[in-house]
Structure 1
């Protein structure tokens, strides 16, 4: 069943609009409609003319042109790719360009210095920065270039600029390049190599970097379509071949043709047909052949099956096809207007479900009435040591017993367990089934070979799809249930240092004062400058950030201590963290140490410490001791043996009971805490907190050993004098010395006594003179009163 109409808009009055620039055209003899996977109404038609629409071709359009100022040469397009925002990237005559269809502006891509033919990427349509990061990863390459030798460019900013890729990992490959792709469904980079008319996918990341896909026939250049939603589906095609893969190129196989209930591999060349236009979405595939036949099929993990729809006259050399929606195929033909520069469009809408009901096709009716779940259109995250539970509802057709299947696109990173349970009936008497799925990292299931499992330290991505294994082709509207799982950092997690006893609750500090631009002083003897350039020259005045730190935790100076760290998720405390972490005083205070050494911590190799990262600290870079560069000393390391067992062990938590010991100094310490345990979470968990150390007595100005020596010496000298002086005084020499001392004493007392008497006399005479003088003045005043 089809519906035909012509789109013609904006042509009531005569227009003199002329094309500006060089009209673009597709470099290949067929046509293709490139859909924006995240914005269904935005598409690019590629043919003898190129059109870009933002309303699904529901208006007449001018052909797309490139400004003459860019001097592109022959304006032929070999590749196009939508990126985030309003940008579409084109490869025109071997050079890369970006076009902003909202601003109608062109820009040459930076960093590409050698000719390229294609730009590849895997667009992610879920919301969030993680998905945007996936979409921003692109490659630009020359298809057919010799490997090694061909330059490959990559971009991690959505095509704003490109850089030359280091191809050392490809040095072992020989042949020509068929393409290079970000295969996010398996957390891989895939390289299609061609040699001796055989194509093979090679992979760059562990554990597939030592293996390759199964070889397949590759006689002529193939266009590669990356199907949306990161499920691992690909379509490889040219005019004489169409191949598909459901596992990111590990197995590339023929499309299966259904003809009167007979299933055969479709050999396009043997069938004597020529593919002219291909359309696909996440679950469907269709292609129009030059012999004026339309083929439709579904693509699933069980295989890709197509059927030739009843004959309908559709083909012309300008015709192309694309999916408007699930089961709705649109046949599009641009129509030139002799009086206007803008083209009209003939649109023929094919309802696939209605077409498949033709009795000549002899298809079985769909064996499932309902398959639904809340997991679709939602992206989930599984952090390390976490799990996720999903479910789906299935209602089979009465009398049928379909088999549901659960598939993950990246079994190296993600494993699952599923169970199907009947839990009631519908009003029509059909049974209802609930499919329960539990997912967690493949590493934690413990039933996979070590060489099969991806590295647990590396975050990964996988899609999860629920489908019906024996679903018939007529189940057009029953699309599979699919979602994307990030095996990585759960952004809702954070760590908080427990604060049950603070300096404020104990009355040592006043929270009101702390909020009023409170400052405190760190003595120059107590801290090291952050840049480690010599000793501190002056005391350091620090502003206390109460908003971020709150009241400091209270710690006694001479009691070994370590912070109690809580893990929070979605605003709820999940557990007390027992992972390995490190702390650093952000102002450079160095008056604390650790209770364990490398030996007492049972290290088997030399432990890391802050001196390991001293060169990075001098560069004033961020907190650099983290889970990505942490190396545990509890594992043997031939490159770093244990040579200095008495050095401080500066890692807290984990398997040791290491603690912090504060020196004899009262005051505030502000710490940065970072979790370095690579097996606790994919997140770089860190926080800042403060403590107030109290109970330390003032530091003595003299060394205790010197003070004790002086006291002992004084005591011994006093005891000796108490014994020696009386003994000497009883001798004749002693008597003469005593008499001499007595005479000196008498003389001194006499002098002192006379001096004391003269002082007293002067003090007594002075007040009397003052009184007599005052009396004389009074008498003179009485004799001469004022008149």
Structure 2
């Protein structure tokens, strides 16, 4: 009779095809685990994808519901096939075979060895330099320590330093963390970051490598080694902006809980969830971080078959299940999508040359009713939110509002507690040390929650420091040519075009008079610019710039911005001079910034938030031309655009250059029609004056002649 709480089943065989014996198979190496007992590697992003590491190496896409064919290496290298470590990275499986790393494509089924190019400069191929911080923290009462390494942007002084790349030694372990909640670049960078090292090796050997391209190529990870420290694990923890190296020091002594297991027997689990936590275990030791959660549950199976179940939340609570597991079989234990435990046993099918799986399901809720003493019912009625699992962007000076519903039963002693992996996230402004792309996880958990509340998992939200995808700028168009009847939408849609005289534009946007050889014919795009703003030529003018997030108005932009005419027109000026703007240093201008560009002048990239220097900064260059035009605009200042005696169309692009306003590159393009100017006279002014004077003299003579004639009569 089957025990209570256990369900038995086996996999189907329909997906395993018979091999065609008539076709010779290509040379291949069957892979197997270097460990005695089987191990399991699960994908963080696909609950149905997992890797079985035992007598065979097996990939399942259905969480062992169907049979699988043993994985074989098919490549140029001659291998024994011993696998010591593996992890899912993007669309690949990164797997260490015979001390070397290979990438197996999950979509193409091809093998690629990890590569490395010699003497690549850091400025070309590394985005961040890894620096070891001085704060080394010892794990209490065991011979373990953690070294925290932070990722910092490269400085210019590092550009000349060569960095030898490529894996130069035998390795045993590969480590990576999958970011699953977004396709944003910051999240993809996390998933592409791979660490490679030799477990148990001395840190002074520098056998730690990192990759930022999914494991295709590696570089040495700079560390601060000590001869007495040995590597236990190296992990990427983006939500605390660190790489964590777990080390063992053979000179540190303790009498409380000495580490009785060899270094090779220590295992570290970095669970999914981006909470920045680890579980460390060996045959005689189990350590965990207090607020780790992988769906809030943790199970431990001891060597004598005793099964413990607990909630690895803010407070550790565990119970011992009544059922005893048969340890004579090589079972793997994992959680199902429903929160129950599954024991997986692999068995070879000689007929189909595949591997089937036996399943033993342990229904947690039934087991909880059989514990001694009995587990009390969960005293929580509701605990949920709308933000669980969502990604939120936080820009400079902005806020994120999160709310949760918690309804306890009477006399319930649980209370919600909010934790955040990166405390600096609580204040994001221009003075914050958080860089763009920093990730953090906010979690709401119940303090005091016991194992009976298995269905109430911590509520997590992911926060990304950076530009929200929907944030953009718009121009307020209150008065346009369409509203005033200057042009109609039909006219602008009907192949509308206009001509820019050669005297008022520069093809290279360098503001050079006489640089154009011919007039410029422009086809107007009503799709891009809609109806032009209508501006009187003799009125100082500035566009009204608005900040929007999606279809929601945020505010009037209060930051510094610059403008240029996209077709190279330069027949406009600025109201204020450098002196009028009360600058304390010589301000930037379009001409100097465009001339500094390496290739052809490009106003789209010449002046942005990346290179903007405010003239109010006393550390800037001294003022050399106080009468020069001040070309920076701000709706809160008096500086304006002055148009000449000219009627015509302009197409402007606005670029917000203040780096303290937003992480976004805020730009917008719009059209302006200037009206009201007297038409220019076709004759030169001197000639026109001469003709006028001649006509005036002739009229005087005629008048004199007629008046004299009338007098004689």
**CA spacing shift, 1:687–1:162, aligned 2, 3 Å:** farther
- 1:627 and 2:671 matched: no
2:544, 2:635 within 8 Å by CA — same for their partners in 1? no
User: Is it true that 1:566 corresponds to 2:546 in the alignment?
Assistant: yes
TM-score computed with the length of structure 1 as normaliser: 0.71
8 A Cα contact 2:473 2:668, kept in partner:
yes
1:237 and 1:472, CA in 2 relative to 1: closer, same or farther beyond 3 A?
A: same
1:429 aligns with: none
**Alpha-carbon distance between aligned partners in 2 of 1:14 and 1:515, rounded to the nearest angstrom:** 65
CA contact (8 A) 1:148 1:171 kept: no
1:11 to partner: Cα distance: 10
Change (3 A) 1:571 1:91: same
**Aligned to 2:242, which of 189, 194, 199?**
189
Q: Tell me, yes or no, if the aligned pair for 2:174 and 2:197 is still in contact at 8 Å.
A: no
Instruction: Indicate if the aligned counterparts of 2:389 and 2:459 stay in contact, CA closer than 8 A.
Output: no
Output aligned runs, 1:730-741, within 5 Å. Answer: none
The answer to whether the Cα contact below 8 Å between 2:83 and 2:96 also exists between their aligned partners in 1 is yes
What is the TM-score when the length of structure 2 is the normalising length? 0.77
Distance (Å, rounded) in 1 between the aligned partners of 2:25 and 2:451: 46
Counterparts of 1:377-392 in structure 2, within 5 Å, are: 377-392=389-404
* Displacement of 1:59: 2.0
> Relative to 1, partners in 2 of residues 1:509 and 1:304: Cα closer, same or farther, differing over 3 Å?
same
In the other structure, the counterpart of 1:294 is 307
- Runs of 5+ unmatched residues, structure 2: 117-164, 253-257, 702-713
| Correspondence for 1:92 | 97
**Is residue 29–residue 79 contact of structure 2 (8 Å, CA) maintained in 1?**
no
Tell me the residue number matched to 2:120. none
How far 1:142 sits from its partner (Å)? 2.0
1:526 equivalent to 2:504? Answer yes
Task: Say if 1:617 and 1:578 are closer, same or farther in 2 by CA, change over 3 A.
Answer: farther
* Structure 2 partner of 1:46: 53
**Residue 448 of structure 2 is aligned with which of 466, 470, 475?**
470
C-alpha RMSD over aligned residues: 3.7
Displacement of 1:465 = 1.4
Name the structure 2 match of 1:233. 277
Q: CA, structure 1 residues 242+690, in 2 after alignment: closer, same or farther (shift >3 Å)?
A: same
**Count of aligned positions:** 623
SS at 1:354 equivalent: helix
| Inter-CA distance 678–294: structure 2 relative to 1 (3 Å threshold) | same
Question: 2:10 aligns to what?
Answer: 6
Q: CA deviation digits over 1:673-702, x for unaligned, max 9? A: 122223333322211111122233456799
Q: Which runs of 5+ in 1 are unaligned?
A: 200-215, 249-279, 415-441, 445-449, 723-787
Q: Does 1:405 align with 2:417?
A: yes
Aligned equivalents of 1:190 and 1:692: distance in 2? 56
Residue in 2 that maps onto 1:665: 646
Question: Which residue in 1 is equivalent to 2:157?
Answer: none
SS of 1:353's equivalent? helix
How has the CA–CA distance of structure 1 residues 398 and 573 changed in structure 2, closer, same or farther, with 3 Å as cutoff? Answer: closer
Q: Pick from 63, 74, 79: which aligns with 2:70?
A: 63
Q: Which residue of 1 aligns with 2:464?
A: 486
- The more displaced of 322-331 and 527-536 is 527-536
- Tell me: higher relative CO, structure 1 or 2? Use CA pairs within 8 A at least 6 residues apart: 2
Cα distance in 1 for partners of 2:647, 2:100 equals 66
Q: Give the distance between the partners of 2:565 and 2:441, measured in 1 at CA.
A: 43
Equivalent runs, 1:28-177 vs 2, <5 Å: 28-67=35-74, 69-71=75-77, 73-84=79-90, 86-111=91-116, 113-114=166-167, 115=169, 116-129=171-184, 133-143=188-198, 144=201, 146=203, 149-150=206-207, 152-156=209-213, 158-159=214-215, 161-162=216-217, 164=219, 170=223
Instruction: Rate the CA distance shift 1:319–1:123 in 2: closer, same or farther, 3 A.
Output: same
Report how far residue 548 of structure 1 moved: 0.2
Are residues 457 and 335 of structure 1, via their aligned partners in 2, closer, same or farther at CA, if it must alter by over 3 Å? Answer: closer
Structure 1 Cα separation of the partners of residues 665 and 248 of structure 2: 44
Equivalent position SS for 1:88: strand
The whole-number CA distance in structure 1 between the counterparts of 2:548 and 2:442 is: 27
Residues 377-776 of structure 1: pairs in structure 2 closer than 5 A? 377-414=389-426, 442-443=427-428, 454-455=432-433, 458-530=436-508, 535-610=515-590, 611-616=592-597, 618-619=599-600, 622-637=604-619, 640-653=621-634, 655-697=636-678
Matched residues in 1 for 2:88 and 2:357: separation?
22
Would you say the 8 A contact 2:42–2:49 is kept in 1? Answer: yes
1:669 Cα shift?
1.4
Q: Which has the higher helix share?
A: 1
Bigger Cα Rg: 1
- Measure how far apart 1:364 and its partner are: 4.6
